């Protein structure tokens, strides 16, 4: 490892482990060694921490778990460590930041904020949205210059409350069958007036017969939110008079929704790690886009998928990459069983239909 990088990692105030998907420690700074007894070449010994690392690598999802540490001196009680697990720099590793749970947790203030947003903000937000819908049409037209920025503020608050409700959630408690093509069409019908106002056309392309498109399992409500955020971002970024092309591709066990040559979350998805350390305050538009991107990324990760870019002949395409077939669930085995039973039932029905001889 480069000497400068080692210097940076060793001076981290918290313990730091750099771990591969199978729990093998690639690097441990001095603080992590003293707290856990682990060093490079060792293997994680706590099963909860091991599962969190695997989830960070596979689903690119962060998590916080408590794990036993190593006593400073013989005879002392085993300390409990608070471990924050985040995806690593490559596709097969993760970072674990370690601190003693008895230390002051600076993250508690953030968690408290998330709780306040979840419990105290949602109802007033819903009331404000309903009040806007009840305005007299003539009065609303006259007040449009004032109402437009108000709607933008409410949309941002809506994204924040949704993100707070999903924060640190390990699973979406749903096993609904989701057909992405009809879902896309439904979302488009909702956004079509916006596209018409902005003189933007949208062309949807299915790369296979509609009957052959595989089913996704999870939460239709949250997956609809992803499609809504992404399609709205595409429409707003499109040049007036242009045409968007959105494809549904079936690649083996994965479904891809491809926004071809579009500006969907272009600023938010580029250099995510660098953005968090930027000293320059982002513009309100960039901040709104980042919130929407983080919301979508978290929902898709909880479904076992990812958001990613693809460059082809100089054009940037934005992809929603999702697993199909048997339901994805990284944590709760009872939910796994329920979803697997639902999937097996659906599969049996499809096989029965395929064997049925047509009547004339």
Residue pLDDT tens, the chain, 360 long: 545 455 555 555 678 899 999 999 998 888 888 889 899 999 999 999 999 999 999 988 888 899 998 887 777 788 889 899 988 877 888 999 988 765 545 455 555 555 656 666 667 767 777 777 777 777 767 777 777 777 777 777 777 777 666 655 544 556 788 899 999 999 999 999 999 999 999 999 988 887 778 888 888 888 999 999 999 989 988 999 999 999 999 888 889 999 998 877 765 555 443 333 344 445 556 666 777 888 888 888 888 888 888 888 778 899 999 988 755 555 444 444 444 555 555 555 555 555 554 544
In-domain check, residue 215: yes
In-domain check, residue 360: no
In-domain check, residue 32: yes
pTM of the predicted model as reported, rounded to 2 decimal places? 0.53
- Give the CA angle between residues 150, 154, 155 to the nearest 5°: 115
Asked if 229 contacts 294 with a C-beta cutoff of 8 angstroms, the reply is no
Number of domains in the chain: 3
User: Residue 263: CB partners within 8 Å, gap ≥ 6?
Assistant: 233, 234, 237, 238
Shared domain for 286 and 185, answered yes or no, is yes
Shared domain for 146 and 196, answered yes or no, is no
In-domain check, residue 327: yes
Shared domain for 212 and 160, answered yes or no, is no
Shared domain for 202 and 245, answered yes or no, is yes
Shared domain for 86 and 113, answered yes or no, is no
In this structure, the strands spanning 254-260 and 315-323 are: antiparallel
Parent domain of 155 = 106-168
């Amino acid at each position: 490892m480069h000497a400068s990088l080692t210097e940076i990692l060793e001076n981290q105030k918290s313990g730091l482990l750099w771990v591969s998907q199978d729990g093998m420690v690639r690097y441990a700074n001095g603080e992590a060694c003293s707290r856990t007894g682990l060093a490079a070449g060792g293997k994680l010994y706590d099963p909860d921490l091991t599962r969190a690392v695997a989830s960070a690598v596979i689903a690119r999802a962060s998590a916080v778990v408590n794990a036993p540490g190593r006593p400073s001196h013989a005879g002392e009680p085993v300390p409990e460590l608070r471990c924050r697990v985040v995806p690593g720099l490559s596709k097969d590793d993760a970072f674990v930041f370690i601190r003693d749970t008895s230390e002051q947790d600076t993250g508690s203030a953030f968690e408290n904020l998330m709780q306040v947003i979840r419990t105290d903000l949602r109802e007033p937000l819903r009331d404000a949205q309903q009040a806007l819908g009840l305005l007299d049409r003539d009065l609303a037209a006259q007040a449009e210059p004032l109402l437009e920025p108000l709607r933008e503020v409410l949309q941002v608050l809506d994204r924040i409350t949704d993100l707070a409700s999903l924060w640190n959630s390990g699973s979406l408690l749903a096993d609904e069958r989701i057909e992405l093509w009809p879902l896309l069409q439904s979302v488009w019908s909702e956004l079509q007036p916006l596209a018409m106002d902005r003189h933007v056309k949208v062309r949807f392309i299915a790369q296979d017969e509609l009957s052959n498109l595989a089913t996704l399992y999870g939460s239709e409500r949250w997956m609809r939110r992803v499609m809504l955020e992404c399609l709205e971002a595409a429409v707003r970024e499109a040049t007036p008079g242009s045409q968007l092309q959105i494809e549904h591709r079936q690649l083996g066990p994965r479904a891809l929704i491809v926004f071809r040559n579009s500006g969907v979350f272009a600023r938010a998805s580029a250099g995510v790690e660098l953005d968090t350390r930027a000293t320059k305050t982002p513009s309100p538009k960039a901040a709104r886009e980042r919130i929407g991107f983080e919301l979508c990324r978290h929902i898709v990760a909880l479904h076992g998928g990812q958001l990613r870019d693809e460059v082809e002949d100089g054009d940037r395409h934005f992809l929603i990459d999702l697993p199909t077939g048997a339901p994805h669930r990284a944590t709760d085995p009872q939910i796994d069983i329920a979803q697997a039973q639902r999937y097996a039932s659906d599969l049996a029905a499809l096989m029965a239909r395929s064997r049925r001889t047509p009547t004339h």
